[in-house]
Amino acid sequence: MDALNQSIEAHYLKENLYGDILNRLKEKGVDLNHVQRSDIAGVDEFHVRGAAVSKELASTIPLKGMKVLDMGSGLGGPCRMLADEYDCHATGIDLSTEFVNTANSLSKLVGLSKKTHFVQGSATELPFEDSSFDVVWTQHVQMNIPDKQKFYSEAYRVLRPGGHFLYYDIFRKNDDLVTYPMPWAAHEGLSFLFKSEEMAKIMAELGFTLKSKTDQTEAGVEFFTSLLTRIKAYGPPTLGLNVLMGESTKPKLTNLLEHFQKGVLLLESGVYQK
């Protein structure tokens, strides 16, 4: 693993993450022999608006029974949702070994280990054959990847003809200075933001056809405004994104909210077809 990938993995590292989640579930009074997906939804979807936006994204195309790859799968919440609600076979790949181990353990905990599988690896060097998946899915991953061409070309390669690429991501809206820390980067050396228009150009050159896209920025602003208000009033939740970000949760989320409000960053979802 190169130095950049090591630094990115270190940024997300939370040792004994699965054990911490189990302890927090017990603190909430959850029976560990009967854990439901809803019990872990506050922590296993590490992106703006969490589980709600994953369900929105899933509704954009027919997904039932599809073979899906999640590029940058984190703790695996979207894969488990797709397996459980759409009968998909969902594979996730993530750079973080700790995230991959935790994702596999959480799937076993909620009875979805037969329909989900998580592997450690790079999204720019996918260990899968050409045309292996019906759907490739990604949320809040490309900001850590400098080689955008390689990232999206790998998605294209592993998709079958006619397959769909679904994304939900953060982009630059202008060239103003970005202030860190952010959820994906403690400093600018780990962040590789680019514009939605630049992504669209790469996708068109690869041979993708844009089917739809949605500006999600205002919904993200509403989400963070509400979340930060609750944190101020009641403190961090027992099982939320603070489990992954710790004491840096509030400054990271506040920074991201301010950049959305000022029009520096854009939150966007969309669908492409191969």
Would you state the CATH architecture of domain 3-273? 3-Layer(aba) Sandwich (3.40)
Non-local (6+) Cβ contacts of 46 within 8 A are: 74, 75, 77, 140, 183, 241, 244
Contact 156, 128 (CB under 8 A): no
Non-local (6+) Cβ contacts of 267 within 8 A are: 48, 168, 169, 170, 171, 215, 216, 217, 219, 220, 260
Residue 76 CA from chain centroid, whole number: 9
Q: Tell me the C-alpha distance between 148 and 193, whole Å.
A: 10
147-153 LR contacts (CB < 8 Å, sep 24+)? 148/192, 148/194, 148/198, 148/199, 148/202, 149/202, 150/124, 150/125, 151/71, 151/123, 151/124, 152/199, 152/202, 152/203, 152/206, 152/208, 153/206
Q: Tell me the C-alpha distance between 140 and 167, whole Å.
A: 8
Strand order in the sheet with 89-94: 116-120, 89-94, 67-71, 133-139, 159-172, 265-273, 209-215
Residue 200 CA from chain centroid, whole number: 20
Question: What amino acid occupies position 117?
Answer: H
From first to last of the 274 residues of the chain, give the pLDDT tens digit.
588 888 878 878 788 999 999 999 999 999 999 999 999 998 999 899 999 999 999 999 999 999 999 999 999 999 999 999 999 999 999 999 999 999 999 999 999 999 999 999 999 999 999 999 999 999 999 999 999 999 999 999 999 999 999 999 999 999 999 999 999 999 999 999 999 999 999 999 999 999 999 999 999 999 999 988 988 888 888 888 888 888 888 899 999 999 999 999 999 999 999 9
- Measured from the Cβ of residue 150, the count of other Cβ atoms closer than 10 Å reads 15
pTM of the model: 0.95
Peptide bond into 78 cis (omega under 30): no
Question: What amino acid occupies position 126?
Answer: L
Contact 180, 255 (CB under 8 A): yes
Which bin fits 65, alpha (ψ -120 to 50), beta or left (φ > 0)? left
146-192 pLDDT, tens digit per residue, is 999 999 999 999 999 999 999 999 999 999 999 999 999 999 999 99
Sequence length of the chain is 274
